[in-house]
């Protein structure tokens, strides 16, 4: 069970995206919970403003420290109250300047009970509040998006599917096969012939050992061709690989 808390100016965007399909059902069953906290609800500005010009000049607006900090405090106070103890939680700030997200990071974060995601918008967030509350800065890749919402959704999805109960057993088996560091082998369903293309014969043989061997071979071929970096890593761990 993980409680995800997402601090954002666009709560509908996050809730719509994350309450669909597998994660929506997992939340209904109570295997995870996902809450979006609207940072604007915490501003003390009487016009509801959460952003202002940057000191030193330059284009664009910056999210101010006060509403971000108060939204964060509200989550922490609520969590501590429910659990009847002073709980700390990792706070992940989504930014292109962070460490690049990967499966290993998802596995590490999946061990937590509470995760707080902070989504910036405009030109970013006042550095002083980041210094006080953020424990992890994470990027989802070397490109720039308009805000942290999509990256937060990407991370929640990747982490939530590792929580026990979220995926069915047959689906989690597939996790293992990427967990081993290789790309997936190709897969086929009915009919046996489609557009003159025949399903590989070995998959119809019923010989499970042969099927497994073929799949591993395909995974290796694919990984070598498409992701030589992953292939080299795999070879270091499995010296028997040619």
Residues β-bridged to residue 136: 92
Of 35, 65, 78, 96, the residue at the interface with ligand ADE (CB under 6 A) is 96
Does 158 bind ligand ADE (CB under 6 A)? Our answer is no
Does 43 bind ligand ADE (CB under 6 A)? Our answer is no
* Candidate segments 10-18, 81-89, 140-148, 166-174, binder of ligand ADE by CB under 6 A: 140-148
Residues β-bridged to residue 117: 6, 92
* Candidate segments 142-150, 162-170, 181-189, 218-226, binder of ligand ADE by CB under 6 A: 142-150
Does 175 bind ligand ADE (CB under 6 A)? Our answer is no
* Candidate segments 53-61, 70-78, 104-112, 136-144, binder of ligand ADE by CB under 6 A: 136-144
Nearer to ligand ADE, 24 or 147 (CB): 147
Does 94 bind ligand ADE (CB under 6 A)? Our answer is yes
Does 60 bind ligand ADE (CB under 6 A)? Our answer is no
Q: Output the CA angle 165-14-170, nearest 5 degrees.
A: 25
Q: Residue holding tokens 């057993």? A: 169
Q: Is the peptide bond before 191 cis (omega within 30 degrees of 0)?
A: yes
> Pseudo-torsion of CA 192, 196, 200, 206, nearest 10°?
20
Nearer to ligand ADE, 141 or 186 (CB): 141
Nearer to ligand ADE, 146 or 201 (CB): 146
Contact by Cβ (8 Å): 149, 179: no
Size of the site for ligand ADE (CB under 6 A): 11
**At 16, is the secondary structure helix, strand, or coil?**
helix
**Shortest CA distance to 153 belongs to which of 1, 9, 23, 2?**
23
Q: How many residues does the chain have?
A: 242
- Interface residues with ligand ADE (CB under 6 A) are 94-96, 139-141, 143-145, 148, 151
């Amino acid at each position: 069970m993980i409680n995800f808390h997402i601090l954002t100016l666009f709560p509908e965007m996050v809730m719509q995206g994350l309450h669909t399909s597998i994660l929506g059902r997992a939340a209904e069953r109570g295997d995870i919970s996902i809450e979006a906290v609207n940072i604007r609800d915490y501003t003390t500005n009487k016009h509801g403003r959460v952003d202002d010009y940057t000191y030193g000049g330059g284009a664009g607006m910056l999210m101010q420290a006060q509403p971000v900090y108060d939204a964060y405090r509200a989550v922490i106070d609520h969590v501590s109250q429910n659990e009847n103890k002073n709980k700390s939680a990792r706070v992940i700030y989504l930014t292109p300047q962070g460490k690049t997200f990967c499966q290993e990071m998802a596995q590490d974060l999946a061990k937590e009970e509470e995760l707080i995601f902070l989504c910036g918008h405009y030109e970013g967030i006042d550095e002083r509040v980041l210094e006080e509350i953020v424990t992890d800065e994470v990027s989802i890749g070397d490109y720039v998006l308009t805000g942290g919402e999509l990256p937060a959704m990407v991370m929640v999805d990747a982490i939530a599917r590792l929580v026990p109960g979220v995926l069915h057993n047959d689906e989690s088996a597939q996790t293992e096969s990427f967990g081993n560091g290789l790309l997936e082998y190709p897969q086929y369903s009915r009919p046996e012939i489609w557009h003159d293309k025949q399903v590989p014969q070995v998959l119809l043989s019923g010989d499970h050992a042969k099927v497994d061997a073929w799949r591993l071979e395909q995974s290796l071929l694919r990984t070598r061709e498409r992701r030589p970096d992953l292939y080299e890593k795999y070879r270091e761990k499995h010296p028997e690989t040619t």
